[in-house]
């Protein structure tokens, strides 16, 4: 079971979008933003992997078994998100940071644009006509069971922020945040986490979003 859990985590790391090495690069000079326009990037809801003991067993049966198990985990996770109206933590952060940044730096908020690409130059092109785009995206999220305490689950979430100059495609600020709690208060039984309105999952989304927002706001965007 332990090996299955580790295999599940390794398997789903493959779903991480290709990108430059993750790093934290604070905004060097906020004066470049004054009087400029900024748009918030909107993205499709990312897949949530639901790693349960029953589904993780399939990972022990080679590539085909792993593929079937992986698809089942994603399908189950996506159904939980859809049924219970769970928000993407990165979207929660983006909706809060964009107007706050615009107000602090004297920028004009230009709403949002849907983005489906990952490279900064491609994102800039998709947001033409605006000076800057704030792109906050979920790189990876899942909930999994604890190997030594079957029946209890925890949520992990990684997200990235990039403030991109739409004229040049250059990233002027970049941040990375990982939510991987170890405190007992963040562990749930399956029913609390994923059933009955997914109360536990929604709590963890808020914790992850609050943590990322505080990190990005204070350490990266400097406001």
Three-state SS letters, the chain: CHHHHHHHHHHHHHHCCCCCCCCCECCCCHHHHCCCEEEEEECCCCCCEEECHHHHHHHHCHHHHHHHHHHHHHHHHHHHHHHHCCCCHHHHHHHHHHHHHHHHHCCEEEEEEECCCCCHHHHHHHCCCCCEEEEEEEEEEEEEEECCEEEEEEEEEEEEEEEEECCCCCEEEEEEEEECCCCHHHCEEHHHHHCCCCHHHHHHHHHHHHHHHHHHHHHHCCC
Q: Which of 6-10, 123-127, 194-198 has the lowest mean pLDDT?
A: 6-10
In the prediction, which pLDDT does 14 show? 37
The CATH architecture of the domain made up of 21-46+88-220 is 2-Layer Sandwich (3.30)
Residue 12 has pLDDT above 80, yes or no: no
Q: Give the pLDDT confidence of 33-73 residue by residue, as tens digits.
A: 999 999 999 999 999 999 987 665 445 445 655 565 678 89
- Model confidence at 149, in pLDDT bands (50, 70, 90)? confident
Kindly tell me the burial class for residue 143, based on how many C-beta atoms sit within 10 Å of its own C-beta (0-12, 13-18, 19 or more). buried
Residue 97: Cβ within 10 Å count: 22
**pLDDT for the residue 81:** 97
- Full-model pTM: 0.85
More confident residue, 72 or 217: 217
Does residue 20 surpass a pLDDT of 70?
no
pLDDT at 22: 85
Q: What is the pLDDT of residue 6?
A: 38
pLDDT at 167: 97
Average pLDDT over residues 89-110: 97
Q: Where are the domains of the chain?
A: 21-46+88-220
Calculate what percentage of the chain has a pLDDT beyond 70.
Answer: 83
């Amino acid at each position: 079971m332990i090996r299955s859990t580790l295999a599940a985590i390794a398997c789903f790391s493959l779903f991480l979008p290709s990108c430059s090495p993750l790093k934290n690069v604070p905004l060097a000079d906020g004066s470049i933003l004054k009087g400029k326009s900024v748009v918030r990037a909107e993205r499709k809801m990312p897949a949530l992997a639901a790693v349960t003991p029953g589904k993780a067993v399939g990972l022990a049966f080679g590539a085909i078994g792993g593929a079937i198990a992986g698809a089942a985990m994603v399908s189950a996770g996506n159904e939980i998100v859809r049924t219970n109206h769970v928000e993407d933590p990165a979207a929660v952060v983006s909706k809060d940071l964009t107007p706050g940044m615009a107000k602090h730096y004297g920028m004009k908020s230009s709403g949002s644009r849907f983005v489906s690409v990952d490279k900064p130059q491609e994102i800039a092109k998709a947001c033409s006509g605006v000076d800057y785009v704030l792109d906050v995206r979920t790189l990876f999220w899942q909930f999994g069971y604890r190997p030594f305490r079957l029946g209890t689950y925890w949520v992990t979430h990684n997200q990235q922020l990039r403030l991109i100059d739409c004229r040049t495609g250059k990233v002027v600020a970049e941040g990375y945040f990982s939510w991987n709690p170890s405190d007992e208060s963040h562990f749930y039984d399956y029913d609390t986490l994923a059933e009955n309105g997914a109360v536990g999952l929604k709590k963890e989304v808020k914790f992850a979003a609050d943590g990322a927002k505080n990190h990005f706001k204070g350490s990266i965007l400097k406001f």
